[in-house]
Structure 1
Amino acid sequence: MSRKTVSSRRAFLKTAAGAGGAWTLGGCRSVPRFRKPGEMLKLGVIGTGGQGHRDWSEMVDCGNVQVVAFCDVDASLFDGAREWYAKKPLKADFRTYADYRKMLERERDLDAVLVATPDHTHAPAAIQAMKRGCHVYVEKPLVRTIWEARYFEKIAKEYGVITQMGNHGSARDGTRRGIEILRSGLLGKVTEVHVWTNRPEISPGNTWGWKQPLKRPEGADPIPAGMSWDLWLGTSPARPFRKGVYHRIMWRAFYDFGTGAFGDMACHTMNLAFRGLELGEVVAGEAVEISERYEDTYPQFSKVRLTYAARGGKPPVNLYWYDGYRKPPAEIMPQVIATLGQVPTTGCFIMGDKGVMVNTDDYGEFSYIALKGEEKMKSITKHEACETIPVTLPRVKEQNQRREFVEACFGQTRASSDIDHSVPLVESMLVGCLAQRIPGKIVWNASTCSSDNAQANALLKPHIRAGWEY
């Protein structure tokens, strides 16, 4: 992060800390718990199934983590946890909860908390956990609104806890090597980046995604046995349950619960360029192409331009985001076509005046470069120009970001997607989400955490239902 980014962010946080209101903390200050080698890290899990299951199971597999409590609004998901433990030489000694507030209140010995829920629950659950001195691993995109991003950052700093956003490609060797190459300046002056995803629609070659609803459905369906719909809604405004609409993945489409394809994938697919080019603060966002704007849901497809200011002698950068199976035009990347035969279904293309780089997966791991005058690309592991670029970033054991978090909780390393990286990345992504909702260019001022657009400013802070304040 640039010095300007740090200073402006600190200024905002200082102002917010003195503002009172929703920023006021209640209760006694909790001290974070750092475990010593040989001890067990006591973990609370909020969001038991799906991605959460992968997160907590990999943490337990580290050998020094014990899940003492699972929380999920869908009680049927606890069966998956019990079945997993039944296959392991481990004792399934945990309690279960439907309400994370009760779990955090009763489980006073927690060292760390995993939050792997729909986006609208990320900040409320994680912030309350941090206020109790717990380290937190929060699935991407960390939070749903910019106000939450700043609040999250403030609480993490105030309580001195470890944080990690779950964009697990950050721990891959290939991603880190790509970052080193970008930071070396091999590509020269980079002024343009293109990032694209095949989501939200389930498309050819895409085995994971969701169909983007166009409006909120009418009517109501019976709530399944074992599920608490009110707890699922959490801080969000009340609405009727509809089968197959919100729970379990379609929630991503709705403003009240998710952040669309941008929030689902940008923390992965923008990560390489954001780190490698040290982009820092976004200064503007605009949807230059969009399917249509809807009252309750994100668009079916869009092309959004995010602008980053010059920093440290590096020129300004325009980053173009494409979703809904849109891609950059093939004519801007002839080296990619010559090498791969087509534009990949997902990827990141970085354009410098001395060369170009393309990443062909969601997580930043597999990258190719071509220097000026070269017609075809080579893997960064095979290109001669990359051989002399030094290794400057530490590598993670097993290339596992969950393990990295656990080791950070033992004071053995630093979490690579802590607030210094995750908050600026997510904030720029969320400016893009605002551009998907609001016509015209949004000029963003990170130092004041506001824009020149009244509509955008009205969307910075989430609705918080009575009884769900945090």
Structure 2
Amino acid sequence: MPENKQEGNQVSRRSFLRNGALAAAGFMIVPRHVLGRGYVAPSDRLRVAAVGVGGKGYGDITSFAEGPADINFLCDVDTRRAADAVKRFPKAKFYTDFREMFEKENKNFDAVSVSTPDHQHAVAAMAAMQLGKHVYVQKPLTHDIFEARKLTEAAQKYKVVSQMGNQGSSGDGVRQLMEWYNAGIIGDVHTVYVWTDRPVWPQGIEWPKTPSPVPAELNWDLWLGTAPKKDYVGNLVPFNWRGWWDYGTGALGDMGCHLIEPPFRVLGLGYPKSVEASVGSVYVGEFKRGYFPDSCPPSSHVIMKFEGKNGKEITMHWMDGGIQPERPAELGPNEIMGDGGNGVIFVGTKGKMMCGTYGVSPKLLPTSRNAEVHVKQTIARVPEGHYLQWVNAAIAGYGSDKAKALSSPFDIAGPLTESILMGNLAIRSYDYREAKADGKGYNYPGRNIQLLWDGPNMKITNFEPANQFVKRTYRDGWSLGV
């Protein structure tokens, strides 16, 4: 670490690229037979540098370490959150600024795991790929649509092995759903319902007016990263940032990559043609919840229109904050819909099927059909799981059969993330000009706007104000470098 924190913050992108080129020039794979019996060739193990090692990040790196991966470097802006990882991997060198870690250590690792708040995903992942490092990035892939597009392009440009952290994409459930659909069991799907019990953090609230002391263990400036400069407030770190647009992507960004992934894959969806949203705003006692531009709403219902493979329109309903679809008539009164708080229902011309979070517990409806319908397995499963699938693919290298078989590489995860973030364009573009409070404990929301989307050009064609949310303006000192 530099003696001056600010000095570490000024590590330049040019130095990343210069050192990355030197590392590439000096790279050599040592054949196994040269090392002798009992030795493991360096090319047989993946050296990982982790950015964000608390919470989910800790779970990620411990999962990598169950396979042929060594966790050599740890980076976190909060030493409290990093404590378990430091204890679990005592030989790993620790940094608080990923840019300094990349500059000083880029010869000593092969891959990077990114598990930061959403607003820092893209800058860390892009810097890693520009050094030629394989990347594993937690969901959602990025905070903005523009970032998702650029990371997708960069994975191909720099020829790195990539994977997003939506583990359900490697599960058996989504593959079972695909096999049923491909066999024509439920006919052509025209409507999909997706719902979640999130948010389980505060949303639809006002930004606290009183700043709080910054904990000594937290580098607040580095935590803010690309986001606007603000005073530290309590009850934000380490989890409740998800409900603030500067840092998180709300319930849709948090759970969409787990719940929308099954219909996206099963139906072969591309960019939505249009999207619209309605949002909830209420009072709870004296605690006001309503429309605050900085905060995601407490609930929302998003409707996306896609063009299916057969050219027919597919309508997807996303619901969060306690909103759920009507129970299918085919589902018994005591049977659980989805997994209870979350789920997906596919409505086809010949029947219905559903699943829970991550695509688990796939079922045909009525559930009695599951004992009657038998479809041959045609899609390979992933017995090693999502994490080791990426580790093994990264060791095999870009373009290898293992890399081509990945469940959620950026050429899949990127378009999926873009489609999910389209919903947030509609939520953030909800017209509040007619919103009002009557002073008696009720808040009347405004009206929704249907946004028409030009996917290839990343542009809303009928409502220009929505385009401001396609790409953020980073704080001075931060850049995506594209």
Q: How does 1:43-192 map to 2 (within 5 A)?
A: 43-62=48-67, 64-85=68-89, 92-108=90-106, 109-192=108-191
Looking at structure 2, the residues matched to 448 and 231 of structure 1 have their Cα atoms a distance apart, in angstroms, of 32
Looking at structure 2, the residues matched to 94 and 459 of structure 1 have their Cα atoms a distance apart, in angstroms, of 38
Structure label with greater radius of gyration? 2
Residue 404 of structure 1 corresponds to 389
Checking the alignment, whether the CA contact within 8 Å between 1:369 and 1:383 is kept in structure 2 is no
Checking the alignment, whether the CA contact within 8 Å between 1:43 and 1:110 is kept in structure 2 is yes
Q: What displacement does 1:184 show?
A: 2.8
Residue 10 of structure 1 corresponds to none
Residue 295 of structure 2 corresponds to 297
Looking at structure 2, the residues matched to 138 and 193 of structure 1 have their Cα atoms a distance apart, in angstroms, of 27
Looking at structure 1, the residues matched to 371 and 460 of structure 2 have their Cα atoms a distance apart, in angstroms, of 43
| Partner deviation per Cα, 1:22-50 (whole Å, 9 max, x = no partner) | x9999457559898884321100011110
Looking at structure 1, the residues matched to 28 and 332 of structure 2 have their Cα atoms a distance apart, in angstroms, of 50
Looking at structure 2, the residues matched to 426 and 461 of structure 1 have their Cα atoms a distance apart, in angstroms, of 14
TM-score by length of 1: 0.84
Secondary structure of residue in 2 paired with 1:397: coil
Residue 4 of structure 1 corresponds to none
| Partner deviation per Cα, 1:302-352 (whole Å, 9 max, x = no partner) | 1110110133x252100000000110023xx11124461667321001100
Q: Give 2:361's match in structure 1, choosing from 366, 380, 386.
A: 366
Q: What displacement does 1:288 show?
A: 3.9
Residue 322 of structure 1 corresponds to 319
Q: How does 1:217-232 map to 2 (within 5 A)?
A: 217-232=208-223
Residue 329 of structure 2 corresponds to 334
Looking at structure 1, the residues matched to 14 and 80 of structure 2 have their Cα atoms a distance apart, in angstroms, of 37
Task: Give the letter aligned to residue 164 of structure 1.
Answer: Q
Task: Give the letter aligned to residue 343 of structure 2.
Answer: G
Q: Give 2:381's match in structure 1, choosing from 379, 384, 395.
A: 395
- Unaligned runs of at least 5 residues, structure 1: 1-22, 86-91, 201-208, 371-375
Looking at structure 1, the residues matched to 308 and 130 of structure 2 have their Cα atoms a distance apart, in angstroms, of 36
Checking the alignment, whether the CA contact within 8 Å between 2:74 and 2:86 is kept in structure 1 is no
| Partner deviation per Cα, 1:161-190 (whole Å, 9 max, x = no partner) | 011000001111122212222233321111
Residue 9 of structure 1 corresponds to none
Looking at structure 2, the residues matched to 59 and 69 of structure 1 have their Cα atoms a distance apart, in angstroms, of 13
Checking the alignment, whether the CA contact within 8 Å between 2:174 and 2:266 is kept in structure 1 is no
Checking the alignment, whether the CA contact within 8 Å between 2:86 and 2:92 is kept in structure 1 is no
Task: Give the letter aligned to residue 357 of structure 1.
Answer: M
Residue 237 of structure 1 corresponds to 228
| Partner deviation per Cα, 1:280-301 (whole Å, 9 max, x = no partner) | 1211110045435431011100
Checking the alignment, whether the CA contact within 8 Å between 1:175 and 1:366 is kept in structure 2 is no
Task: Give the letter aligned to residue 336 of structure 1.
Answer: L
Looking at structure 2, the residues matched to 327 and 461 of structure 1 have their Cα atoms a distance apart, in angstroms, of 31
Q: What displacement does 1:77 show?
A: 2.7
Q: Give 1:413's match in structure 2, choosing from 402, 414, 423.
A: 402
Secondary structure of residue in 2 paired with 1:410: helix
| Partner deviation per Cα, 1:218-243 (whole Å, 9 max, x = no partner) | 12111111210000000110001012
Looking at structure 1, the residues matched to 119 and 84 of structure 2 have their Cα atoms a distance apart, in angstroms, of 24
Q: What displacement does 1:213 show?
A: 4.7
Looking at structure 2, the residues matched to 50 and 122 of structure 1 have their Cα atoms a distance apart, in angstroms, of 15
Task: Give the letter aligned to residue 280 of structure 1.
Answer: G
Q: Give 1:459's match in structure 2, choosing from 459, 465, 469.
A: 469
Looking at structure 1, the residues matched to 15 and 467 of structure 2 have their Cα atoms a distance apart, in angstroms, of 24
TM-score by length of 2: 0.82
Looking at structure 1, the residues matched to 464 and 295 of structure 2 have their Cα atoms a distance apart, in angstroms, of 20
Q: Give 2:371's match in structure 1, choosing from 379, 383, 401.
A: 383
What is the percentage of aligned positions where both structures have the same residue? 33
Task: Give the letter aligned to residue 402 of structure 2.
Answer: T
Task: Give the letter aligned to residue 362 of structure 1.
Answer: T
Q: Give 2:307's match in structure 1, choosing from 296, 306, 309.
A: 309
Looking at structure 1, the residues matched to 314 and 423 of structure 2 have their Cα atoms a distance apart, in angstroms, of 15
| Partner deviation per Cα, 1:68-113 (whole Å, 9 max, x = no partner) | 110000012332013334xxxxxx3211111111111111222100
- Say which is worse superposed, 178-187 or 122-131, in terms of deviation: 178-187
Looking at structure 2, the residues matched to 53 and 341 of structure 1 have their Cα atoms a distance apart, in angstroms, of 32
Checking the alignment, whether the CA contact within 8 Å between 2:137 and 2:163 is kept in structure 1 is yes
Residue 455 of structure 2 corresponds to 446
Note the aligned Cα RMSD (angstroms): 2.3
Task: Give the letter aligned to residue 152 of structure 1.
Answer: L
Looking at structure 2, the residues matched to 80 and 149 of structure 1 have their Cα atoms a distance apart, in angstroms, of 30
Secondary structure of residue in 2 paired with 1:318: strand
Aligned length: 418
Looking at structure 1, the residues matched to 190 and 292 of structure 2 have their Cα atoms a distance apart, in angstroms, of 32
Checking the alignment, whether the CA contact within 8 Å between 1:215 and 1:297 is kept in structure 2 is yes
| Partner deviation per Cα, 1:444-464 (whole Å, 9 max, x = no partner) | 111211112211111111121
Checking the alignment, whether the CA contact within 8 Å between 1:368 and 1:378 is kept in structure 2 is no
Secondary structure of residue in 2 paired with 1:334: coil
Looking at structure 2, the residues matched to 283 and 349 of structure 1 have their Cα atoms a distance apart, in angstroms, of 21
Checking the alignment, whether the CA contact within 8 Å between 1:290 and 1:302 is kept in structure 2 is yes
Residue 7 of structure 1 corresponds to none
Secondary structure of residue in 2 paired with 1:129: helix
Looking at structure 1, the residues matched to 336 and 418 of structure 2 have their Cα atoms a distance apart, in angstroms, of 35
Checking the alignment, whether the CA contact within 8 Å between 1:43 and 1:113 is kept in structure 2 is yes
Residue 437 of structure 2 corresponds to none
Residue 257 of structure 2 corresponds to 267
Change (3 A) 1:447 1:82: closer
Task: Give the letter aligned to residue 345 of structure 2.
Answer: F
Change (3 A) 1:310 1:78: closer
